[in-house]
Amino acid sequence: MPEKTYDIVVVGGGLGGLTAANVLARGGHRVLLAEQHFQLGGLASYFRRGRHIFDVALHGFPIGMKKTLRKYWSHEMSEHIVQVKSVRFDNPQFSLDTTFTKEDFTEILVDRFGLVRETVDSFYNELEGMNYYDDRSMTNRELFDKYFPGRNDVVRLLMEPITYANGSTLDEPAITYGIVFSNFMSKGVYTFLGGTDCMLRLMRQELAGNGVEIRTSCRAGKVTLDKGAVSAVELNGENVGCKAILSNANVVSTVYDMVGEKHFDRGFLDLAASTRLNNSSCQVYMGLRRGESFDHIGDLLFTSTHPVFEPERILSKDVTSRTFSVYYPDIRPEHPDYTIVASMNANYDDWASLSKEAYEEEKARLVRESVGALEKYIPGISGKLDYTEAATPLTFERYTLHRLGASFGTKFEGLDVSMKLPEQIGGLFHAGSVGIIMSGWLGAANYGVIAANQVDKYLSKKA
């Protein structure tokens, strides 16, 4: 029997795990948080190079994050949520600036795209009425065909940012798009003033204040079961006793690696085996030399040179579509700097199959072409940079252990696997990016709260 036991071990310090740990500790439970990386945050991460601080996944989230931080973290953290000033689209079909709100999109769709206002209103009404328990058979393709048949340009405006944000395609259930898009459309796109490093510092303080024991560089291995229920988990090779485990690791890895097939029933394993992982990402990080600057060009730029919107094309290693996130000195008033992050959706296999030399060459090409593409928006940028670096799906896999470097968890079916886990193994819960709806900063954090409430009920029954 392990010497020290906890009520709950949270495996993984991504936003789902961190939020669950905080809620459980506030509820009076003894919580151990184990994160394999030396830093908390998971995909919601940052890194320092010289005097630059680069944000990995802080491009924008819906206003709902303010309420989530206020309720489950602190008032101070929620005060850091600020709206981004402008979102820009530039592609062969249209170039425009928007606040990314329903009102602004409606005007654009009517005035610039020539749509009938009633059609646009009906589309929004249908989205707003969608919820998780609805019919899931309608796809995004069918939804768009119903309101905007033959209008690839309209679909591009409505869907391309969501494809970038969570890997959605036209074949996904329309409710996943409807829920995520409506969250953004309610009030626009928001960011965290002070950057990801500031948010994670405040989260760590809050967790420690609430009594969470945090172990970084601490990898969870096998789960030990006693009569079908969790009794311990291996952390860096040592067994640690616990009444429950909440895994924030990839849901498929949780089933197959942490627990093992033999402990699940056939029906559940079929479900787990058919779960598709979402795609991965590439990024190029660019830092400006001290003393250099540029004018405001927007905070988020969805750019593409591809003639039409094709979600599958966005994954290609021959990149035509990039999202540029631009961080001006005011995002970190204490540490003023200009940084730009170009993000591209990507396929893991395109990168994993390269030889070491080809991999380095392709990374260099990614940097070169991304800086080149940015010249259109910031002329002379290549001469102003003092740092560039690229991340690929292999980088995401290395730092988060996500299978295939999945950036946005799983496709829709993964949500069922995640939610049914405690029915299979007593005391084993999961929270983190699954099912598209629960992905992103807001989705992952809110899912952490939902899972924490389930753990709390389980522990109360056990007491």
Ligand X SMILES: Cc1cc2nc3c(=O)[nH]c(=O)nc-3n(C[C@H](O)[C@H](O)[C@H](O)COP(=O)(O)OP(=O)(O)OC[C@H]3O[C@@H](n4cnc5c(N)ncnc54)[C@H](O)[C@@H]3O)c2cc1C
Query: Does 173 participate in binding ligand X (rule CB under 6 A)?
Result: no
Query: Does 14 participate in binding ligand X (rule CB under 6 A)?
Result: yes
What is the nearest approach in angstroms of ligand X to the Cβ of residue 280?
8
Which CB atom, from 106 or from 316, has the smaller least distance to ligand X?
316
124: CB partners within 8 A, 6+ apart: 102, 106, 185
171: CB partners within 8 A, 6+ apart: 139, 140, 141
Burial class (CB in 10 A: 0-12, 13-18, 19+), 31: buried
Which CB atom, from 90 or from 397, has the smaller least distance to ligand X?
397
Which residues, numbered 402-461, are part of the site for ligand X (CB under 6 A)?
407-409, 432-433, 439-442, 444
47/366 Cα distance (integer angstroms): 19
How many residues touch ligand X under the rule CB under 6 A: the total is 39
Q: What's the CA angle centered on 222, arms 220 and 226, to 5 degrees?
A: 125
What phi and psi, each to the nearest 5 degrees, are found at residue 136?
Answer: -105, 5
Which residues, numbered 328-347, are part of the site for ligand X (CB under 6 A)?
343
Distances (CA, A) of 386 to 287, 300, 382, 413: 6, 22, 9, 44
Which residues, numbered 263-292, are part of the site for ligand X (CB under 6 A)?
281, 283
Which CB atom, from 56 or from 175, has the smaller least distance to ligand X?
56
Query: Does 68 participate in binding ligand X (rule CB under 6 A)?
Result: no
Q: Which residue intervals of 275-434 are DSSP H helices?
A: 348-352, 356-374, 393-400, 414-424
Query: Does 16 participate in binding ligand X (rule CB under 6 A)?
Result: yes
251: CB partners within 8 A, 6+ apart: 272, 275, 409, 410, 414, 417, 418, 421, 430, 432, 434
Of 42-50, 153-161, 196-204, 379-387: span binding ligand X (CB under 6 A): 42-50
What is the nearest approach in angstroms of ligand X to the Cβ of residue 371?
18
Query: Does 59 participate in binding ligand X (rule CB under 6 A)?
Result: yes
Query: Does 163 participate in binding ligand X (rule CB under 6 A)?
Result: no
What phi and psi, each to the nearest 5 degrees, are found at residue 88?
Answer: -125, 140
What is the nearest approach in angstroms of ligand X to the Cβ of residue 402?
6
Query: Does 219 participate in binding ligand X (rule CB under 6 A)?
Result: yes
Q: Which residues bind ligand X (CB under 6 A)?
A: 11-17, 34-37, 42-44, 56-57, 59-61, 219-220, 248-249, 281, 283, 343, 396, 400-401, 407-409, 432-433, 439-442, 444
